[in-house]
């Protein structure tokens, strides 16, 4: 994404149109509200078996920081010290020895920082192209050897992978339109992503090496932010297909679509809890953005 990092504007831009379609629901009695600060948040990740949450937030004017939240105590702390740069989209290797995130303040709009927590050394990958080139939504492969991410550079917005030294960049998509928000299945074999190659942003699947690209589910509205369930059987995502930005779940074969949330304001950024029975969302209520945990059960 480009611009002035006004993520309230970005989230509003992701709400489109009015289409009323009846969709089966998988909602429980009601969600558990996790935070009450109302800050604009995005890109949450569970760590420590679901006991902690790490995410980006507008916690200060014109700055985005990565925050760590202890779910048992409600205590929030900075994951990295506050600096002059903004920090986005953190990801962790399974063994937690390496983490990566997108950072402003370098020669590109956003560069990828790959941080080795054992050696305390950073590798910085600057995407090719002009100053507005950027990276977003990095994800480690389950074996921890590569990172898959969105890159805006010459060639448009595509999905690429690279090694932990910031080298051996491989293009996984090369279509027209937007390709982004990749997430890797727990077995490492399949990537789900969003693509506008056929018009609207739909969910697609491809093999881990970029082969066998095929549509998963389609709508006239944007389907974005896909997230694999821990067992690899379901995918949660955000869509405005029913007239408002809500969270849905679909089976990995594109069947059994059902809606999780239903509210006049926006629900987005779904992330599965490691127990596979709950889904975290960032939900707008009365213009404020907080985390909510929803019980979801497989039909």
Domain boundaries, the chain: 7-295
Residue with tokens 């993520």: 7
Q: Grade residue 24 by pLDDT with cuts at 50, 70 and 90.
A: very low
Q: Which one, of 54, 159, 43, lies nearest residue 96 by Cα?
A: 54
- The predicted structure's pLDDT at residue 180: 97
Q: What is the pLDDT of residues 136-190, one digit of tens each?
A: 999 999 999 999 999 998 888 999 999 999 999 999 999 999 999 999 999 999 9
Residue 164 near residue 123, CB atoms below 8 Å: yes
Residue 215 has pLDDT above 60, yes or no: yes
Report CA 289 to chain centroid distance, whole Å: 16
- The predicted structure's pLDDT at residue 299: 54
Per-residue DSSP letter, 25:
B
CATH superfamily of 7-295: TolB, C-terminal domain (2.120.10.30)
Mean pLDDT of 280-287: 97
List the structure tokens of 110.
Answer: 């956003």
pTM: predicted TM-score of the whole model, two decimal places: 0.89
Residue 116's alpha-carbon distances to 79, 123, 141, 243, in angstroms, are 14, 8, 16, 43
List the structure tokens of 202.
Answer: 């739909």
- The predicted structure's pLDDT at residue 291: 98
Residues 6+ apart with CB under 8 A from 228: 183, 184, 185, 186, 192, 234, 235, 272
List the structure tokens of 244.
Answer: 């408002």
Residue 13 has pLDDT above 80, yes or no: no
Q: What is the pLDDT of residues 79-130, one digit of tens each?
A: 998 888 999 999 999 999 999 999 999 999 999 999 999 999 999 999 999 9
Residue 7 has pLDDT above 50, yes or no: no
Instruction: Annotate 93-115 with DSSP letters as a single string.
Output: -TTSSEEEEEE-SSSSSSEEEEE
Residue 15 has pLDDT above 90, yes or no: no
Residue 144 near residue 95, CB atoms below 8 Å: yes
Question: What is d(CA 256, CA 275) in angstroms, rounded to the nearest whole number?
Answer: 21
Residues 6+ apart with CB under 8 A from 13: none
Mean pLDDT of 288-294: 97
Q: What is the pLDDT of residues 220-265, one digit of tens each?
A: 889 999 999 999 999 999 999 988 999 999 999 999 999 999 999 9
Least confident of 23-32, 67-76, 197-206, 221-230: 23-32
How much is the mean pLDDT over the chain?
90
Residue 9 has pLDDT above 60, yes or no: no
Q: Grade residue 297 by pLDDT with cuts at 50, 70 and 90.
A: confident
- The predicted structure's pLDDT at residue 155: 83
Q: Grade residue 61 by pLDDT with cuts at 50, 70 and 90.
A: confident
Residue 179 near residue 157, CB atoms below 8 Å: yes
Residue 21 has pLDDT above 90, yes or no: no
Question: What is d(CA 103, CA 163) in angstroms, rounded to the nearest whole number?
Answer: 18
Q: Which one, of 294, 296, 297, 280, lies nearest residue 227 by Cα?
A: 280
- The predicted structure's pLDDT at residue 91: 98
Mean pLDDT of 48-57: 97
């Amino acid at each position: 994404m480009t611009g002035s990092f006004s993520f309230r504007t970005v989230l509003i831009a992701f709400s489109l149109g009015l289409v009323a379609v009846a969709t089966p629901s998988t909602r429980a009695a009601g969600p558990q509200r996790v935070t009450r600060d109302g800050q604009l948040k995005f890109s949450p990740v569970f760590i420590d078996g679901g006991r902690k949450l790490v995410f980006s937030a507008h916690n200060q004017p014109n700055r985005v920081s990565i925050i760590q939240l202890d779910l048992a105590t409600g205590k929030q702390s900075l994951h990295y010290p506050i600096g002059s740069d903004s920090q986005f989209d953190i990801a962790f290797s399974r063994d937690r020895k390496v983490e990566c995130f997108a950072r402003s303040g370098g020669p590109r709009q956003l560069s990828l920082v790959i941080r080795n927590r054992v050696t305390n050394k950073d590798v910085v990958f600057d995407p090719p192209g002009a100053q507005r080139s950027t990276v977003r939504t990095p994800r480690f492969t389950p074996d921890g050897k590569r990172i898959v991410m969105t890159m805006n550079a010459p060639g448009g917005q595509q999905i690429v992978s690279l090694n932990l030294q910031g080298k051996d960049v491989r293009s996984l998509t090369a279509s027209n339109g937007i390709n982004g928000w990749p997430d890797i299945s727990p077995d490492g074999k399949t990537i789900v992503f969003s693509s506008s190659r056929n018009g609207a942003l739909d969910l697609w699947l491809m093999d881990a090496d970029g082969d066998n690209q095929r549509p998963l589910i389609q709508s006239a509205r944007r389907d974005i932010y896909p997230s694999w369930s821990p067992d690899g059987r379901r995918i949660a995502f955000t869509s405005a297909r029913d007239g408002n930005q809500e969270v849905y779940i679909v089976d990995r074969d594109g069947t059994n679509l059902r809606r999780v949330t239903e509210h006049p304001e926006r629900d987005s950024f779904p992330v599965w809890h490691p127990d596979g029975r709950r889904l975290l969302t960032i939900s707008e209520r009365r213009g404020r953005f907080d985390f909510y945990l929803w019980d979801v059960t497989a039909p």
